[in-house]
Amino acid sequence: MRLALAGLVAVAHALAVAFGWQPQFHEDPVLGRTTLGDLAVDGFFVVSGFLVTMSYLRLGNVGRYLWHRFVRIMPAFWVCLVVTALVVAPIVAWLEGASPTSVFPESLAYITRNGLLLIRDYGVAGLPSGTYEPGVINGALWTLYYEFLCYLGVVALGLIGALTRRRHLVLVAVGLLWAVGLAGVVLAVELPAFQMRRLALMFLFGVVGYVYAEKVRVDGRLAVLALALLALALAWLPDYRVLAGPAFGYLVLWAMVRLPFTWNPRTDLSYGLYIWHWPVVVILALLGATALGQVGFVMLTLCVTALVALGSWRLVEAPALAHKSMAAPWHARSRGVSADPST
């Protein structure tokens, strides 16, 4: 599921960066639009909410949980920042007719300003300028900040018992976020913190799916009904989530259970595909690969990014994950505790 959703995000961004469009379902002059990329990212957060909640409850230790989340996200993210700043940016400058050294020292600021997940600089020295998303050298990384905030939200829910004995509090949180989104649509105004509210809501649908797993029916008829509701909401509403957010969450969870795949690869390319596809798209577009046409360009993007993601997995992600069982530096009591590698 994660690989498929990362692939959809890559397809959407390849079309947007190289050709100036991507599939979209609805557009509103105030509340914006819903695109294929938006839907795929929403699905990512549903899956993440389910799996991360499972991880937290299985580990039973806040320090170990945070350490697991840290080694999964941060090492590959930092490598992506450094390579983008020191390798990709000079290549982009050269392809656009400037000196590769012209990106310095701005490229170093790109690393330091973005190093804590909150993306402040999307480009390096104003590059790139020759794509349909000028000044954005990697526009996919911004969601990781919200992802990590959701990880911290799981800790907060766990500490107040909302994942076990007070599960209704998760439903209360979903209801509050849904009500705010509904108010924005009804009043046709853009309320603050839209991205945080949107992604937190989708993440919470995954949390609900896990903590209420024994009560959720996995039924194909419900999936068809959810799909119909989602199609209606995408066609008519600027924010489909106020009508069909739960339906989309159910579809993602249903697919996790019912799709006829039993593939559990040892190599996980999903994260690498997600964080690396945008720089690959920029370089390929500047090299003139758009001459292959939209389908050819997208296929080339996926193939090249898969190779980069394989390198990220073998050289960065897998070695980092091999340290999951070590004691978290900030949690002294976990020293000497051996974690189950499966969690």
Each of the 343 residues of the chain gets a pLDDT tens digit; together they read 899 999 999 999 999 999 999 999 877 766 667 899 999 999 999 999 999 999 999 999 999 999 999 999 999 999 999 999 999 999 999 999 999 999 999 999 999 999 999 999 999 999 999 999 999 999 999 999 999 999 999 999 999 999 999 999 999 999 999 999 999 888 888 889 999 999 999 999 999 999 999 999 999 999 999 999 999 999 888 889 999 999 999 999 999 888 877 667 789 999 999 999 999 999 999 999 999 999 999 999 999 999 999 999 999 999 999 998 887 665 544 443 333 333 4
Total number of domains constituting the chain: 1
Partner residues linked to 127 by β-bridges:
124
Helix (H, G, I), strand (E, B) or coil at 140: coil
Task: Count CA atoms within 13 Å of residue 118 on its CB side.
Answer: 4
The single-letter DSSP state of residue 304 is H
The answer to whether 13 touches 278, Cβ cutoff 8 Å, is: yes
Residue 295 lies in a domain: yes
Residue 340 lies in a domain: no
DSSP-assigned letters across all residues of 207-258: HHHHHTGGG----HHHHHHHHHHHHHHHHH-SSTHHHHHHHHHHHHHHHHHH
- Asked if the peptide bond before residue 23 counts as cis, ω within 30 degrees of 0, the response is no
Residue 339 lies in a domain: no
Rounded Cα distance, 143 and 77, in Å: 12
Residue 328 lies in a domain: yes
Residue 31 lies in a domain: yes
Helix (H, G, I), strand (E, B) or coil at 97: coil
Reference 150, options 39, 270, 249, 69; nearest CA is 69
* Residue 121 structural domain: 2-334
Helices (runs of H) and strands (runs of E) counted in the chain: 13, 2
Please state the φ and ψ torsions of residue 25, each to the nearest 5 degrees: -105, -30
**Residue 26: exposed, middle, or buried by beta-carbon count in 10 A (0-12, 13-18, 19+)?**
middle
Cβ neighbours of residue 325 closer than 8 Å, sequence gap 6 or more: 338, 339, 341
User: Where do we find the tokens 């046409």?
Assistant: 293
Residue type, 3: L
DSSP E strands in the chain: the ranges are 24-28, 32-35
Residue 343 lies in a domain: no
Rounded Cα distance, 199 and 185, in Å: 17
Rounded Cα distance, 215 and 221, in Å: 16
pTM score: 0.92
Residue 189 lies in a domain: yes
Residue 341 lies in a domain: no
